[in-house]
């Protein structure tokens, strides 16, 4: 190999190293963005779960208050009528 060939090979290899380094930086940046997105998604899931849990608790409390205010005998009669109609509609 001549000195010019070695110099050309060296320039070609430096160019490849620069391309690989750029690709690695892009990959690292993309991985970091994915980690941040995953962390944000987990935080949003936790917030959404907390909100849903609060809504369920509020609904349960309202239903309990509503049931307590209803008279027992008519409520039981309507419930039994619903069960019977449900069985006959099968």
Query: 34-52: per-residue pLDDT in tens?
Result: 887 776 766 666 666 778 8
Average pLDDT over residues 80-86: 93
CA 67 to chain centre: 35
Percentage of the chain lying above the pLDDT 70 cut: 89
The residues, ordered by sequence, that sit 6+ positions from 9 with a Cβ below 8 Å of its Cβ are 1
What pLDDT score was predicted for residue 82? 93
What separation in angstroms does the CA of 45 have from each of 33, 34, 49, 56, 75? 18, 16, 6, 16, 38
pTM of the model: 0.38
Better-predicted residue by pLDDT, 77 or 66: 77
Average pLDDT over residues 59-71: 84
The residues, ordered by sequence, that sit 6+ positions from 67 with a Cβ below 8 Å of its Cβ are 75
């Amino acid at each position: 190999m001549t000195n010019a060939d070695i110099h050309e090979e060296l320039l070609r290899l430096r160019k490849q190293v620069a391309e690989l380094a750029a690709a690695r930086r892009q990959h690292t940046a993309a991985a970091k963005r994915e980690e941040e997105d995953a962390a944000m998604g987990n935080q949003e899931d936790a917030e959404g779960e907390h909100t849903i849990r609060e809504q369920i608790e509020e609904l349960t409390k309202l239903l309990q208050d509503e049931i307590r205010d209803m008279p027992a005998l008519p409520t039981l009669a309507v419930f039994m009528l619903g069960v019977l109609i449900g069985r006959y509609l099968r």
